[in-house]
Each structure stands twice: as C-alpha cells, then as structure tokens.
A and B are shown apart, each in its own frame.
Chain A
Amino acid sequence: MSSIEARRLLAMLAIVAAMPSSTSAAETRALADALRSGRPSCHARIFDATELASHPNQRVAAIMIERTAQDVATERKWGKLEQFDGTPVISATLRVRLRGDPAKHSARLECAESDEGALVCTTPACAGGEIYLGSGGSDAINVSIGGTLKDGRFIGHYIHLDESCEARPGGPILLESGDGDRRFTLTAAPKEACR
C-alpha cells in the first residue's frame, strides 16, 4: 500500500469514526436508559396511607410521568430540527394527585437537556415554573422541584399543574417543593399506573 493510499484510508476511517450513528445521539442523551428513545414509558410513585402519615409535610400522594406514542412522535419531530440549547428532547405528561384532593392534576412537559446531564422540564401552558429529571438508578428517574445552592441553602420552586395559569379563581394549582415535596424517585411501571 502506498503512503498516499494509506493516508487516504486513515482519513476515511477518521471521518467514519467522527460520524454520529443514528443511535449515538439518543444513547448519550440524559436519562437515555430510563426514557428510551422511540419507546413510550411510564414512571410512577404512589404513596400509601402509612407513608403519607410518616411524611406530614408532603402534599404529593401520587406522581407519574408518562410518554405516549404521541410524545415519542413529537420527540422524533424535535430531533429532526436544528438543535439549540433549550431545544426539547423529551415530551411527556406529569400527573400529580395531592393529599386530600381526589382529582388528578396534569401538566404537559417539554424537557431539554441541562449542562449537568439532567433534564429541565417546563410546561408550555404557563411559563415560569420548572422541574428537573435526573437518573434514579437502574430504570428509575428522580423528579426534583427546586434545588440547593453552593452555600447549601435550598431554594424552592414549582410547576403549574393546570392550564389556567394565573386565571383560576383561588389561585393556580401547583406542584411546589414546600417542606416535603422536594424530590421523588419514580420507578418504571406499566402504562396503566400512569393513567
């Protein structure tokens, strides 16, 4: 093999190695294991009466995050667009049942990757609030509301749980960090658990 042919071969190999495969982007995406690209998912955490009794400051009685086939199609559509910071990669629905309230409240989520390898989820219905999804190990995801600054202080936050935004008489329905709702670990579950 001449040195020119060898150099050309090396250059081709370098180009092939640099080309992203169709799956590599999805594999490196935050929470790629728990929220698999192209596959619907359901993650849920439902607290029983005993657990709620031992956490009197917790308002959340059940919390679920579901991605349907329609969400997967939306994610595919987003993936075909030019990617910027803040381009969403995960489409989902957050459902929450609050203590003492039989109704299940929900919010559409659009989640983009953060620099810290987590997902930042906002709801298009009402700008302002956001939650964070991180790996909970294995197939689980951690849902965080608010977070801790470098000095160790916790700063609370929220996300709106209905589409009325600020128009609802009596104030908006929120998932707020409060004293007992700062982080939840949701495990993979059959889709029925998310309804």
Chain B
Amino acid sequence: MKALTSTLVVAAMLALPAAAVRAETDVLFPPATAGCYVGAEVTPITAGVAPYRKPAVPVTSVRLERSYPQLAHEEEQPPRADGGRMINLAVSVTFADAGKPGAVKRYSSGRWELLQCTADLCDAGNYKVEREAGGTVLLRMTGGMYVGGGPYLETAHRRLPDGHVYRLVASPMAACR
C-alpha cells in the first residue's frame, strides 16, 4: 500500500509541471510569450457598419504582433489589484492603396495601449481580440481605432470604424515583420 501511495505521489508530482505549462499556454496571448497573427477583414456585408472614410480605402491585411517591445512593456506594469492580466499588442494595418507612390505602407496602433485578458478574450475598450477554435482570432472593433503611419511631423491617420471584424491566423513571427 505504501509503495502504491509513493508511486501515486511521484506520478502526481511529475504531472504537476505539465499541467502548469498547459494552464499557462492554454490562454489567449500567454504570459511572456511572443506571438504573431496575420489576417484580413471578415466584416459581414449585411452588418450595416460604417464604411472606411477619408479616404474610402479598404484594409487588405492586419497583423497582431507581440514581440520584444510589447513583452518588455508588459513587464513594467505593476500587478493589478483585481488580478487582471494585462497585455500589450502592436496592431499594424495595410490599406489597399499602400502600393501607390508616396503612400504610407503600413499603419500602426498606439504604442502603449493595454488590453485586459481572460483566457479567451482580450479587451482594449475600443477593440477586442477573441479566441476561436483552430488557432484563429477575431479582431473586433468595439468603438473603432485610429492607426497612424509616416514621419513624425507628417503622420497620417486612418480609422478602423466600429463594427469592423478581422479574422487572423496564428503565424510564425516572420509573418509580422
């Protein structure tokens, strides 16, 4: 009996780290882990959401990147009293006119925004990232987002309007570069 108990204890100890690893990685944007998602717009045509304006140019690709700058910024945040998990993401957007001469090639979100996360959803207030089955996420505008690009004194801004939705696939880090 004693031998059986010891065996069970050892087996439980061996299983614990594996369970801890699984618990940590089985969440959207796990702590201290780089990641990249790449995708495009999937807003339903019938949704009645506001179109892109000034200019009326659609989005061709969206990237969510969590690399060294984002992870280093997350480490600087004090722990929240409510135990909430906060992450930082770089959202970068390419519009259909990016290939035109002089056009901004890629727009990006503000540098220091934080999203509060549960296991399956991260919420910035004006947008959300929702985990789907199969390694995809939905980036959903819940208020809309300004993105900017170009030189500091000539920064151009565009808006991703409220209600627009983008589906992104987990990808190698190189796909976000």
Q: How far is the CA of A128 from the CA of B112 in the complex (A)?
A: 13
Q: Interface residue tally of chain A, by bracket?
A: 35 or more
Q: For residue A127, which residues in chain B have a CB less than 8 angstroms away from its CB?
A: 92, 106-108, 148-149
Interface residues of A in 97-137 (CB under 8 A from B): 108, 110, 115, 120, 124-130
- Stretch from B44-52, B61-69, B118-126 at the A interface: B61-69
- Stretch from B3-11, B18-26, B150-158 at the A interface: B150-158
Q: Is the interface of B mostly helix, strand, loop or mixed?
A: mixed
Q: For residue A176, which residues in chain B have a CB less than 8 angstroms away from its CB?
A: 177
Residues A147 and B68 in contact, CB atoms below 8 Å apart: yes
Q: For residue B150, which residues in chain A have a CB less than 8 angstroms away from its CB?
A: 124
Q: Which of B34, B151, B176 contacts A124 (CB 8 A)?
A: B151
Q: Does A184 contact B (CB under 8 A)?
A: no
Residues B75 and A149 in contact, CB atoms below 8 Å apart: yes
Residues A166 and B105 in contact, CB atoms below 8 Å apart: yes
Q: How far is the CA of A147 from the CA of B151 in the complex (A)?
A: 25
The proximity string for B residues 142-177 relative to A, scoring 1 for CB distances below 8 Å and 0 otherwise, is 000000111111000000000000000000010011
Residues B151 and A110 in contact, CB atoms below 8 Å apart: yes
Residues A77 and B90 in contact, CB atoms below 8 Å apart: no
19 A-B interface contacts by CB (under 8 A): A88-B152, A110-B151, A124-B149, A126-B105, A127-B107, A128-B108, A129-B177, A130-B69, A146-B67, A149-B71, A150-B75, A153-B32, A155-B71, A156-B173, A157-B69, A163-B105, A166-B61, A167-B98, A167-B105
A residues apposed to B, CB below 8 Å: 77-78, 85-88, 108, 110, 115, 120, 124-130, 146-147, 149-151, 153, 155-158, 160, 163-167, 172, 174, 176
